[in-house]
Amino acid sequence: MDILSIAIIVFCIMELGNVLILYFNPDSKLGNGVAVFNAWEDVKKDKNLDLFAHYMAYWVAGVKLIFIFLLLVILITGRETTKIFAVVAMILSIATYFWKLHPIIKQLDHQNKISPKGYSKTLGLMITGFLIMFSLSLLIYLII
């Protein structure tokens, strides 16, 4: 098994954990559980906002599933060139987190609207870890 396949598998396993949390325990503060946002408890008190918030959590989980399933199809049926381009696509798509989402979560963290304090840094490091994993796997694959 090549290094690109290993990186894809690691990502799929980690994201599957996030999907399970979002679908079955969105109140969790683990993974991508939305209870890290202090407003989650406030939103649950309003029936209209509660439905909207749960819809959005499940929508994110669904999008993650699309990525996972597409990566698994590439892993099973894709040629090496397809895997290379899939990893490049993952690097680019994951990097977009820093464009819009990271500034917002940093601001929320600064305003004490996230628990635990400093979660934005933890999440930023995790996303950076994914970028490093995919970038290094691509670099190693291309060199070897």
What one-character-per-residue DSSP string does 39-71 give? HHHHHHHSHHHHHHHHHHHHHHHHHHHHHHHHH
Tell me the pLDDT tens digit for each residue of 74-107: 999 999 999 999 999 999 999 999 999 999 999 9
Whether the model pTM is above 0.85: yes
47 pLDDT higher than 90? no
Question: Is the bond into 26 cis (omega within 30 degrees of 0)?
Answer: no
User: Both tokens of residue 73?
Assistant: 């199809």
* Distance, CA of 139 to CA of 8 (rounded, Å): 14
